Structure 1
Amino acid sequence: MKSPIERLGAWAELPFFADDYPRIEAALRAEKREVFPPQDQVFAALEHLQPDEVQVVILGQDPYPTPNHAHGYAFSADEDTRPLPRSLANIFKEMRNDIGAAPQTADLRFWADQGVLLLNTVLTVPAGQPKGHEGLGWQKLTDQVLGRLSDRPRAYLLWGGSAQKAAASVDGTTNLKIQSHHPVGMYGNLDFFGSRPFSRTNAWLHDQGLPPINWANPEAA
């Protein structure tokens, strides 16, 4: 069986995995609290897509801190998650207003099948403690992933301050950058609603000669 790093393909070449991950891995081993997502799912989003396959990047903050929710993809959760996490419920509300439909479950991995990288800026979280691993150093990986993806234009959906700070160096003239408040929290009902990120992303992909993302129906993806 391949190790988590071996499953990363080209991403494993990023300096983070030699320079920073051993320290983070040791900190996770020493962690007394339950950590999400499960260890074998921490890098799931990167394992799913190689750099050249990425068309759209959606940056999240950190994994859901609720048991049985996080599975390694930003904003996504296991298929049987009920009720939906609040941020995802707002994402689906905006999607219905934007394109007239939304998925039936919390599992967004069919987006990744189409080239959408669902990456959190911090890849682990202690149970019940949002941002509890913000100081571990995961942000260095985010920086390097975005640097690797700077080789050609892509669409970036940046919801909230953590995502916008992480992607501050992404060129907004050659790439599509859609920035708004995070879809949950005290500002979740402000400029996130009405930002139309899904239709705008598909219009931009069309202009690039690329297929649109099927956001709503996993069976047709």
Structure 2
Amino acid sequence: DSDMLAEKDLVAKHIKAHENQDDLVVCGMFWKRIYSFYYDRFEKEHKEKLAELYEELPGDKEPLLDESDIRDGSFLDRCFDLDTDFIRVLKSILEKYGDDLNGYRLPWRFFITNNSSVKRQHVADLGLFDEGIVRYGFEDYDLGIRLHQSGMRFQLRRDIMSVHQEHPSNCASVDDIRANIAYMCDKYNDIHSLDVHLAFNGPFDAELTNSIMADIEVLLDYEKYESLL
């Protein structure tokens, strides 16, 4: 994506991760952030973060990185973790289940397409991105859900680094998010996909959501519970 900075070995590391791993989805480190330009249109939280980093706020569209910082990789020393409830929840999941996400039944939540890879044929078989998702975001989640439901394994790789260059939000309004959630819940309206509803219509505790999906997997093994489910 045009707002991402990639470490120079990012593509090579993704390729190597798939050697002899046909069913693997690789999720690189996606929560790193950096300011490469200042914008007067920045939201309040960005200006507050910049005030922590700079004694004086720069001027509109003033560059905060040099090309040399990118070429020599030193921009990685100036990045920081996105600090939101969403990221904190994902980090807590990794603490419990590890980077291989063993035992975690919603691994698609780590499939963020600014730094993910999977073999091309799997995506082609699943029908590519859903072009019915026309508002901001969610098309990567949708593809991740389908990859998960097709039986793929997910793995987080902290050593595969990309950094998002912060900019004023592209999201027009909260209505975009609501419309996408409604679309996703209509699309995945079955018992196998209850995780989609729990993840998007919370807040539900991540561990509770995971245990519910584990129980459903057990019940699905018994034909007598089919009508109940």
Shared fold (TM-score, shorter chain, > 0.5): no
Larger Cα-atom Rg: 2
TM-score w.r.t. structure 1 length? 0.32
Please state which structure has a larger fraction of its residues in helix: 2
Pick 1 or 2: higher relative contact order, CA cutoff 8 A, min separation 6.
2
